[in-house]
A and B are shown apart, each in its own frame.
Chain A
Amino acid sequence: MTPNQFIFIPLLIASLSVFAWGCWKRFSLISLGRPEDRFDNIGTRLGEMLLYAFGQKRVVAQPFGINHFIIFWSFLILLVANTEFILNGLFPHTIKLIKLPFELYVPLAFMIDIASLLALAAVTVAAVRRLFAPPYPEARTPEAFFILGLIATLMLASFALNASELAEFVVKSRVDPASFFASARKVMPVSGWLAGLLLPLPLGTIHVVAWWAHALALFAFMCYLPNSKHMHILTAIPNCFFKRLEKPNTQPREEFTAGNTFGVARADHYSWKDLLDSFSCTECGRCQNVCPASITGKPLNPRAVIHDIKVNLLENGTELKKGNAPQTPLIGEGGEGSISEESIWGCTTCGACMEACPVFIEQMPKIIQMRRHLVESEAKFPEELLNLFENMEGRSNPWGIAPSERTKWCSQLEVKPFDRDTTEYLFYVGCAGSFDSRNKHVSVAMAQLLDRAGVSWGILGKDEKCCGDSVRRLGNEFVFDKMARENVATFIERGVTKVITQCPHCFTTLKNDYRQFGLELEVIHHSELLRNLVQDGRLVLDKTTAETGSTVFHDSCYLGRHNDVYDAPREVITAATGSAPAEIARNRNNAFCCGAGGGRMWMEEHVGERINLTRVKEALEQKPDTICVACPYCMTMFEDGLKDVKADNVKVRDVAEVMAEALLR
């Protein structure tokens, strides 16, 4: 009866067919996506795959990830055991691991036995966690417990199988049970131990039951896998291989010719990689646990966005393959498989989701693609954005202030216009630094510092235009495209090569987005430049003059997470105040957004707690006298938030202001 080929083989073929059918169905859906080249730098890609898929680098970044690491590697080891099992089922008693050379068999059998034990322990821990402290409440699904139960069954069955075989051997060969089990325990500690317990029981029955339990659990696993979120077992590894090699801090350009579609309104308008992303998600919930929108009670949930794209694709797949229009809308209020407009507009593009995702799913670009559709093809967006879009297009700044006022901030200063022959750096002041009454002080502080350090710099003055960050993140690519082309033309015409920005949004746009428009600039954020000037001894500071008191530093998403600048602003504060700033609980690449990125600066926030309030309260836990920022949007959000919590005694200062205060008089 064990193994019985005449029952086993048809079942195996049936399970393999279900498995293959499920895989084919999903991979054929992925192929509906638009083309995208992710086949460059194969060597680097293999390295990233080894590090992140096999090394599980991001998975183990959180304590519970170690549990997953154990399951993953146990599975890899148990592939050998399961291959043996299937071959044994096909050709009974012919292919057995024990027939391998002894030196090879012993370590292998030991590893398999231990791996099975570890996997069993890990799934037990996982089940307990899911029961009592799930990563998010909805994670307590029957599906999750089913798969954990299935894995546990596989492990228990294989132990029972191995143990009953050992015990049967003792019965048949009449060896001394005690000494045999003692040596067996050295090779297979768990099975050897279990064998001793099984010895007095009906071994034949146990063997048959264990063998078939293992076989059926394996078949069930095969049938179930490609039709569930556990598909990630197959897709996560290639997803790490195909990850973006550069930080996903930009969005692709669009081609504005008549007849094109703009943005994404259907799942098959995404690229194949976007669709692969949706099948790589195992819904661990790490993205939603760091998303400022999700945390503060907004409808946006990055996990649900990816899930809904997958469900939408599955629901519409048959029609899409026939070239028909989809039945379930991708953007809409229809529940599972549809993403609401409110979710789409809730994203601050802070990138925390992408930083947290263990398998490099790119949530944020998918949201921006849907924004593009809404703005460009439907002209549908929150009404407060109408003025913004018109101001940006008409006057190249968010407030619609006359461009002639761009230089008012320096009307009392001697500031040179940028000239390629006489000035080294362009100081790209930015809209906030030019027009916003609070941030003008940062521009003045910068001018003072640059002059004191003897930096050769100039401004474009009235010729400076908005970089277009907000419109790009809001999905108005048509207007961004126009603004970027104009700015790139100006920079080239004026011979600009080195740029200082005091706004991380200008910084990332000039540095990363404009490369798509053929302009490679050397862009330096003011915190980096100031740090360098101190290090070079060009700025001498008196640490006793700063009136900052105790400080904390808040990382701007577009400086930190999107561009990896973490140390420079901290070093500036340390240089100016004599002590390092305190760290807010969530800092550096885990920092929590101020709430203003992705164009949210220009939108109302009606639902849930305000993101800036959440962040302000978190910063205040460190009891600072001064909250230091390196971004004009963060400045506004913190000043507003402090007013709301009536923390009048706490100041907000840009790092440049902190440094200017410490300048020797």
Chain B
Amino acid sequence: MLIVVCIKQVPDTTQVQIDPVTNTLVRDGIPFIVNPYDTHALEEALRLKDRFGCTVAAISMGPPNAEGTLKKALALGVDHAILLSDRVFGGADTLATSNVLAAAISKLHAEVDEVALVLCGKQTIDGDTAQVGPGIASRLDYRQLTLVDKIIDLDFSAKRIRVSRKLEGRHEIVEAPLPAMLTVVRELNRPRYPKVQMRLAASDAVVEVWNNKTLQLDEQKIGLKGSPTWVSKIFSPERDKGEIIGDGYADPAGTAALLIEKLMAKDMLPI
């Protein structure tokens, strides 16, 4: 049984700034991290590996430097790490991205082992679309179970999975046949910390790179050409500059009084 985890390298958004002139992300010097939701998908796959002994493959589509993300996955214990990287994959929207990822999963299914589960984070923190996971499920005709916060039951021989979905204000228990695609939320688990031996092994390991020669996809369905949507503008919302009132350290009581006065003047405190 093979579990495929889709992970993405994203800029650490707390450190991202937007260039006011070009309206693009300033990526220089911004560290990359593994998309936080994906770390929970990865952890769940590794827990299933610990429990059932299944094989785990991590795949990521991105530029060559996304290799670092896959090395982190290797350090945590995945068996295969494959980087899907090719200039023709670049500029992809969620549709084109899911085409590439689905093709890679099919290839793994054919060459490594029967795919039982595909795990994705519920969304990425840079694009925030939450579409790629469902896109993969559609392309592969897998059941899609989104926003999973608990795998209640998993039976590989009966090919069934039962999960809890975390929805607004309620939980939904859903059962589906395998293979299935799950997108996961943070509540699912606490990601593990890598052991040094594994980190050292991962840093020496070679991450397999698949390009379009490997996947043989129609260039009209991938990258910029295969993307019906594109970002026309990116900007930070304008915000009026605030003011610092009083000195909360030297005179907390006076400052609190001043704040209340200001809020009342603006009619922002219900009385």
Contacts and interface: CB of A to CB of B under 8 A. Distances in A.
Contact of A377 (B196, B201, B249): B196
A377 B193 contact: no
Nearest to A403: B15
Contacts of B249: 441
A377 B197 contact: yes
A395 B196 contact: no
Contact of B196 (A376, A381, A383, A441): A376
B123 to A, nearest CB: 20
Contacts of A415: none
A234 interface: no
A375 B12 CA distance: 25
A377 B198 CA distance: 9
Given A379-B193, A379-B194, A394 B12 contact: yes
Contact of B195 (A378, A383, A394): A378
B33 interface: yes
Interface in B164-210: 190-197, 199-201, 204
Interface residues of B, number: 19
A389 B33 CA distance: 14
B14 interface: yes
A402 interface: yes
**Listed residue (A258, A262, A377, A395) with the most chain B CB atoms within 10 angstroms of its CB:** A258
Contacts of B197: 258, 262, 377
Contact of A404 (B15, B191, B194): B15
B63 interface: no
Contacts of A375: 193
A125 interface: no
B64 interface: no
**Listed residue (B31, B192, B197, B199) with the most chain A CB atoms within 10 angstroms of its CB:** B197
Contacts, number: 43
A393 to B, nearest CB: 10
A257 B195 contact: no
A146 interface: no
B73 to A, nearest CB: 15
A256 B196 contact: yes
Interface string A259-281: 00010000000000000000000
B101 to A, nearest CB: 26
B200 A402 contact: no
A491 interface: no
A478 interface: yes
Contacts of A381: 193
B200 A257 contact: yes
A383 B190 contact: yes
A378 B194 CA distance: 9
Given A256-B200, A258-B201, A395 B193 contact: no
A383 B189 CA distance: 13
A249 B259 CA distance: 48
A403 B191 CA distance: 24
Given A258-B200, A386-B190, A394-B33, A377 B195 contact: yes
Complex A-B, nearest 7 residue pairs according to Cβ-Cβ distance, in ascending order: A376-B196, A379-B193, A258-B200, A402-B14, A478-B196, A402-B15, A379-B195
Interface of B: 12, 14-15, 17, 31, 33, 190-197, 199-201, 204, 249
16 contacts: A256-B196, A376-B195, A377-B197, A379-B193, A381-B193, A383-B190, A386-B193, A389-B193, A394-B31, A395-B12, A395-B14, A395-B15, A400-B14, A402-B12, A441-B249, A478-B199
